Amino acid sequence: MASETVENCSSHDPLLDFDSSDSSSGVKSDEYLELQFRVFRLAFLLTIFSVGIAGFFWGIQVGASLFIGALSGIFYFRLLARGIGRLGTSSKIVGKVQLLVPVLLVLVSSRFPQLDLIPALLGFLLYKPALIIQFLSRP
């Protein structure tokens, strides 16, 4: 009973369910999902590494800003991957919703003095080295 509830919750959350992008057409692209998992894992590792270094050398405020930016970048990349996963099956265009993430990040960074803008932006761009490393090390 409890496991059924957990399964139902996870399968209906469009942001957490990696299959949701393809389930509408019944097409499953395991390779694409694997690629997403690998990039997310690498991005998380890079985030932990860089937040640790930034927090150690420049203080906890810079580390927190970098961490929030990195989480925003991963969320942006997740939205972009979901849009590309839907392309050609349930949608004819790639949505632009993901562009709201950097907008909100800059707005929040400029409104709250606890956050620094530059570390947050650098953290947001941490998904790019993860992508580059992933594609260079691809078999």
Partner 1 sequence: MDSITAAASVVAAGLAVGLGAIGPGIGQGSAAQGAVEGIARQPEAEGKIRGTLLLSFAFMESLTIYGLVVALVLLFANPFAG
Q: Rounded to an integer, what is the distance from CA 106 to the centroid of its chain?
A: 17
Q: 14 or 88, CB closer to partner 1?
A: 88
Instruction: Answer yes or no: are the C-beta atoms of 68 and 87 closer than 8 Å.
Output: no
Q: 27 or 48, CB closer to partner 1?
A: 27
Using CB under 8 A as the binding criterion, the count of chain residues that bind partner 1 stands at 33
Residue 119 in the binding site for partner 1 (CB under 8 A): no
Q: 55 or 102, CB closer to partner 1?
A: 102
- Rounded CA-CA distance 68/106 in Å is 11
Site string for partner 1, 36-55 (x = CB under 8 A): x-------------------
- Rounded CA-CA distance 16/137 in Å is 26
The CA–CA distances, whole Å, from 126 to 43, 56, 92, 94 equal: 7, 18, 29, 22
Cβ of 55: how many Cβ atoms within 10 Å?
16
Residue 137 in the binding site for partner 1 (CB under 8 A): no
Segment interacting with partner 1 (CB under 8 A) among 11-19, 50-58, 62-70, 97-105 = 97-105
Segment interacting with partner 1 (CB under 8 A) among 1-9, 33-41, 46-54, 61-69 = 33-41
- Rounded CA-CA distance 96/89 in Å is 17
- Rounded CA-CA distance 117/119 in Å is 6
Q: Which stretches of the chain bind partner 1, using CB under 8 A?
A: 27, 29-32, 34-36, 77, 80-81, 84-85, 87-88, 93-94, 98-99, 102-103, 106-107, 109-111, 117, 121, 125, 127-128, 131, 135
